[in-house]
Structure 1
Amino acid sequence: MIIDSHQHFWKYEAVKHSWIDEDMKVIRRDFLPEDLAKVYQQNNIDGCVAVQADQTLEETDFLLDLASKNNFIKGIVGWVDLRGNDIETVLKKYSKFDKLKGFRHVVQGEADHNFLLRPDFLRGISALEKHNFTYDILVFPHQLLAVLEFVKRFPNQKFVIDHIAKPYIKDGFFEGWAVLMQEIAKQENVFCKVSGIITEADYKTWTEAQFQKYLEVVFTAFGTDRILFGSDWPVCLVAGNYTQVKELVTNFISKYSKKEQANIMGLNAVKFYNL
């Protein structure tokens, strides 16, 4: 069973999706379940986790609606204002939805390097565990020091780092990212998504060889039981196609046992998100 642990849906709106810049204009259109179902059929994918792409409760409700109508959407990662004074009430309301597995905040877009450590945000995170909600960590490498301190504060909270923390592959930066990822991986409640990496390289000239040392770091650090395959569709389309993204991972993990490969490609996502 192959589960894509990270993809997005949207009805494109220029203002709402202003992060889709000129270089990414190929994805300035709607991407909905009927589009993805065809891609999954071609690539033998059994299901997915849909992740928020907009920071509103309407986005969470939009994904819940899609999940209720499309069985291959096995879980969703929504958004709530974790800094809000009403966080307990909001989480209680959303805990009624089986397919809502966790939440994410676009921390990479926050100017404060230590955003994760703000008291109001920490208060929101501390409320997740009670409702068995996961938290996806979306950051850039310069925010990893804060991530390390952050995950240590919540040893029982399930965390997953999106897109291997977006190392600057295009620029060849490596050492600082690698050291911190190895340190973070010592916290056994933290998982890692191998997703969104082709868009961290040069969109047009990337090669599979460029990613090897980055993949070696995360697979050695997190092990085959805490790594999740994800495509980051449709964002991945700015730098390649779905098959290329999948093969980048399947080629790398071909050296592992069949059981380990099955874990990486699907079973770890089932375990982490309780699908």
Structure 2
Amino acid sequence: MRIDSHHHFWNPARGDYGWMPPDDPVLTRQYGPEDLAASLSATGVEKTVLVQAAPSVEETEYLLGMADATPHVAAVVGWINFEDPGQRVVLERLAKHPKFVGVRPMIQDLPDDGWMLRDDVQWAYEALIDLDLTFDCLGFPRHLSNFAMLLTRYPDLRAVLDHCMKPQIRDHSDDNLRFWADGMARLARDTGAYCKLSGIVTEADDDWSDEVLRPYTDHVLRSFGAGRVMWGSDWPVARLRCDYPDWHAQAQRLCADLSAPDRARVFGDSARDFYRLT
């Protein structure tokens, strides 16, 4: 089964997408299941994981409503307020929904790079473990060491690194590549985290060719192994660079040297196992 481990639906009129540019011709429009259907058919992707894009419980409930009405959406990764311990009851309520699998705080947008290690948010990681829910790690290379500290502190937390932790490919240099690569290798070695092969075309500039992306994708595959890597489209954000089938085909080329079983892991089985999809 081919699975897209990371995509979004949204409606800017909801008013809770603070990161979204006000007049972007690609991003600032509504996206729903009908907009994705043709791409799923063209690529043979059968199931998807729908991921939050707004820091609100209301958006999570909006996504769960769409998931109920959309057979290909197998799981929803939502959001709760980590700074409010009272939201454990919200998490417990959401966890009762059959398609709710975990949460993603929008760490990349927070001004404090050490936010994830603050004492007042630790209850949330413990709650995720207690409820057997997942944690999507959204950050930049500057967050790598903090994620390493967090995930070694909670070895039972089922975590996945979104978008290869967003290597800054547009600012490529040997030093930047080495810093990112060392941090990713440490996470692969010292934690049980998975990694999403997603979101990197938009970390490149005008050139997102195979040759530009390959040093990054090869390092992820080498460090984590196919059993802990899952492909994701990051659609519709990826539309800033290319269409859904284009990135799917490019990822297939970048994984062409893998064995058939390993390609099956990257393009479906790893996501199925991590998110426990049926």
Pairwise CA distance, 1:23: 9.1
Match of 2:182 among 154, 179, 182: 179
Which residue is equivalent to 1:144? 144
* 1:258 partnered with 2:260: yes
Distance in 2 separating the partners of 1:22 and 1:200: 21
1:228 maps to: 230
Q: Displacement, 1:255?
A: 1.2
- 5+ residue gaps in structure 1? none
CA contact (8 A) 2:21 2:27 kept: no
Cross-structure match for 1:269: 271
- The structural deviation recorded for 1:31 is 0.3
SS of 2:190's partner is coil
Identity of aligned residues (%): 33
Aligned residues, how many? 274
Residue range with higher mean Cα deviation, 15-24 or 106-115 = 15-24
Alignment of 1:31-70 (within 5 A): 31-70=31-70
Conserved in 2, the CA contact under 8 Å of 1:24 and 1:238? no
Structure 2 counterpart of 1:249, one-letter code: A
CA distance in 1, matches of 2:67, 2:14: 24
* Cα displacement (A) at 1:92: 1.7
In the alignment, the residues of structure 1 paired with residue 24 and residue 203 of structure 2 have an alpha-carbon distance, to the nearest angstrom, of 13
Kindly provide the CA deviation profile for residues 130-189 of structure 1, in whole angstroms up to 9, marking residues without a partner as x: 111000000011111111101101101100000000010001031111101000111342
Q: Distance in 2 between matches of 1:236 and 1:23?
A: 17
**Residue of structure 2 in register with 1:195 after alignment:** 198
Between 48-57 and 121-130, the greater mean CA deviation after superposition: 121-130
Distance in 1 between residues matched to 2:131 and 2:214, nearest whole Å: 37
SS in structure 1 at match of 2:9? coil
Equivalent position amino acid for 1:93 in 2: R
Tell me which amino acid in the other structure corresponds to 1:232.
D
Consecutive unaligned residues in structure 2, runs of 5 or more: none
User: 1:234: how far off?
Assistant: 0.3
Q: Provide, for residues 183-212 of structure 1, a one-character-per-residue CA deviation record: whole Å limited to 9, x for no partner.
A: 01113420000000000001x333221011
Q: For 2:64, what is the secondary structure of its paired residue?
A: helix
Question: What SS class does the counterpart of residue 76 from structure 1 fall into?
Answer: strand
Cα separation, 2, equivalents of 1:113 and 1:70: 36
- Matched-pair contact (CA < 8 Å) for 2:18–2:54: no
CA distance change for structure 1 residues 57 and 15 in 2, over 3 Å: closer, same or farther? Answer: closer
Q: State TM-score, norm by structure 2.
A: 0.95
1:14, CA displacement in angstroms?
Answer: 8.7
Task: Quote the residue 2:11 is aligned against.
Answer: 11
* C-alpha distance in 1 between matches for 2:87 and 2:157: 16
Alignment of 1:71-86 (within 5 A): 71-86=71-86
Question: What are the Cα deviations for residues 116-140 of structure 1, in whole angstroms up to 9, with x where unaligned?
Answer: 1011222211111111100000001
Contact 1:169 1:201 in 2 (8 A): yes
Q: Which deviations, in whole Å up to 9, do the C-alpha atoms of 1:40-99 show, x marking residues without a partner? A: 112211010000000111111011100100110000000011221213312221121110
Q: What is residue 211 of structure 1 aligned with on the other side?
A: 213
Select the residue among 248, 251, 261 that pairs with 1:249: 251
Question: Residue type matched to 1:68 in 2?
Answer: D
What residue in structure 2 maps to residue 29 of structure 1?
29
Structural RMSD (CA): 1.5
